[in-house]
Amino acid sequence: MARDAKLIIMADVRVKERLQDYAGQLGMTLSGLGAYILGHWVYQQDKMVKPLFEDIKDALVHYAKQEISRMHALEQPNEAEPNVP
């Protein structure tokens, strides 16, 4: 995947040094390691968080439909019961 967007991140000097060390151990540049880390994080979010939000959305829609049905049932009189004053 081409890297054609620039992203500037401010971090503590110690964090930068640790990342630089890890990048060196992996034979990567600091920029390459940063892109890998961010790409992996985005992938994890897409894999885990999106389905969770979809499940929550589906549950809310189901609950709303049940409540609307319940509300309509309360508004309409039961035809089986005779109207006795």
Residue-wise pLDDT tens digits, 14-62: 999 999 999 999 999 999 999 999 999 999 888 888 888 889 999 999 9
Sorted by where each begins, the domain ranges of the chain are 13-75
The pLDDT score that the predictor gives to residue 29 is 96
The pLDDT score that the predictor gives to residue 5 is 87
pLDDT at position 78 over 60 = yes
Q: What is the DSSP string of 10-69?
A: ---HHHHHHHHHHHHHHT--HHHHHHHHHHHHHHHIIIIIHHHHHHHHHHHHHHHHHHHH
